[in-house]
Amino acid sequence: MNHKRLVAAKAADDLKHGATTAGHDVRRVVLDLEITGLEPDDRITEIGGVEMIGRKRTGRTFHHYLNPERLVGSSEYIHGLSDEFLADKPKFAEVAFDFMDFVRGAELVLHNAEFDATYLNHELALLKLSPLETIVAGIVDTLKMARAIRPGLKNNINALCADYQLDIPRRQYHGTLLDAHMLAKIYLAMTRHQQEFSTLSLLEQIEVRWEEVRTKGYKGVGWANDLVGSQEVLLKAAKTFHQWEPLKVYLSVARAKKKRIAFSLRYQGQHVADLLVDGSPQLHIDKNTADKNKKYFGVGQEGHFDWTGEESKKFRRHFKNLGAEPRGRSEEHRIESIFLQQMADSSSKIFNNTMKNNIQPVLLAGCPFQLPVPISGNTGKPEAKRGNIDIMARRRVGNRTRLSIWELKRPGVKAQAIEQAYRQAYIYGVTVLKMLRAEESGHIWYKDVLGFNGKMPDRMTIECVIAVSLDDIKAAEALGKLRRFVTENSLQIEGDTIEFYLASYAEKQGSLSIDLTKAQ
């Protein structure tokens, strides 16, 4: 974690007048105003507020345009609210009691609190009502916090959004409700380093890890350019060998970037040999792989063999003669291989007619591969290290193609592992959005690696799919838990959206059928 920012966050915390930052049940109202001018008798023209409980926005808001009972003058150039527009709007007196009910007992979050509180108190005093400080539990000034964290820098909302990598809304004028929403995000970003990591929301934990990744030097540009630069060589290499069923060729992304190209040859999803393309193609089986092959598949060949030679042919014939009986040490890898095979099926019978022919796995040089991401979700907790997504696909929904992230669980897995998969999928979904929105490399990932056409849209939807094999009763239970997870976590990621699905699959004679259900 950046030490200077941690120290600055502590300084900002000291400015909060004893507010309980870490409390999960603290009620806060983030407020923004527009005013006719800067004189003591100027009036409020618009007021917008956003409610938070703990560190989550509840969706409850307060917003009114107000007739200020005087001309707006030159302030119209700032907020865009004309005398004509405001003429039929309610006066502050008409909304005062609703406003007091909305903020009563809450910790009020304002940007330049002294300024805003002065005009709120002026309005209350005109009605002979109690001052703001006696209505709310306390007042937090995010401008003072920002100046402590970023001394000498601009600290308006746009500048803070840029510093914390938050989406800056496109707008010609200020709008209080929009600014209140942005200020809520800024407040959460500025205060999240004051808390124990475990008390942060899952989205905030991911954002902390993303900041760590970027501070250490995000390798997104290098990864993307290496993969794109090697595709021509990979395509040429892929054509140099003949693939025999039931062996499948996968691509190791780590080796795809190296001069000596190595493909992974797999049987029922388990690695059984390397295919080396360095001059004459070779089959390479190291001792560790040979021992596993002997244990699970009854073949113990070890060494280097010419791809077209007799030893390689013998190796391939052995697997061809094994039949369709499930084998290997990883049931999950076997299921993954069937998913990939059926996703790539161009026939209308994809997943036994249970899914329309509108999905295709993301391929590199025509081979399945796992997209490397800089935040791992393998444990259900975001960690700043390399992670791998089970399957990434493109799925056609309506007239748009969206990215589809699949987390697979083997048959018979425990409920705890399924619930962990919800978190894994969310971590990877948010991380991929961060990668795609990274200015220096996102467009390379989007177009040249993931294979989308055209310009990246301003707003994207990524779907996270949890694939589990369950009977109907357990499937309903898992869907209910997934829906609860969805309600507890933000699905709006700086203008982009995450959608969750449960894919309940059934296997029969080596083929899968799927029941795909949206969770929200």
Tens of pLDDT, residue by residue over 141-184, are 999 989 988 888 899 888 888 887 776 655 544 589 888 998 99
Contacts for 372 with CB less than 8 Å, ≥ 6 apart:
223, 253, 254, 386, 387, 388
Measure the CA–CA gap between 163 and 253, rounded to whole angstroms: 32
Spans in the chain with pLDDT lower than 70: 1-24, 167-174, 193-194, 240-243, 252-261, 278-279, 347-348, 357, 472-473
Q: Where are the domains of the chain?
A: 3-200, 220-320, 331-518
CATH fold for the domain made of 3-200: Nucleotidyltransferase; domain 5 (3.30.420)
Q: 166-171, long-range: CB within 8 Å, 24+ apart, which pairs?
A: 166/494, 167/494, 167/495
How do 496-508 and 461-468 pair as beta strands? Answer: parallel
How many Cα atoms within 13 Å fall on the side-chain side of residue 442? 14
Measure the CA–CA gap between 475 and 506, rounded to whole angstroms: 12
CA dihedral sign of residues 218, 220, 221, 226: positive
Strand-pair partners of 400: 397
Measure the CA–CA gap between 507 and 341, rounded to whole angstroms: 14
Q: In the prediction, which pLDDT does 167 show?
A: 65
Q: Are 35 and 43 in contact (CB under 8 A)?
A: yes
CA 467 to chain centre: 18
Six-digit token string for 275: 């295919």
Q: Are 118 and 44 in contact (CB under 8 A)?
A: no
Q: Are 292 and 316 in contact (CB under 8 A)?
A: no
Instruction: Please tell me the class of the 331-518 domain.
Output: alpha beta
Measure the CA–CA gap between 379 and 175, rounded to whole angstroms: 41
Measure the CA–CA gap between 177 and 30, rounded to whole angstroms: 9
pTM of the predicted structure, to 2 decimals: 0.71
Burial of 439 (0-12, 13-18, 19+ CB in 10 A): exposed
Q: What angle do helix axes 142-149 and 3-14 make, rounded to 10 degrees?
A: 150
Query: Which residues carry out catalysis?
Result: 174
Q: Are 432 and 405 in contact (CB under 8 A)?
A: yes
Six-digit token string for 385: 């290290």
Measure the CA–CA gap between 55 and 203, rounded to whole angstroms: 11
Measure the CA–CA gap between 315 and 301, rounded to whole angstroms: 8
Measure the CA–CA gap between 158 and 168, rounded to whole angstroms: 6
Sheet holding 261-267, edge to edge: 248-251, 261-267, 270-277, 282-285, 303-306
Strand ranges (E), 203-281: 248-251, 261-267, 270-277
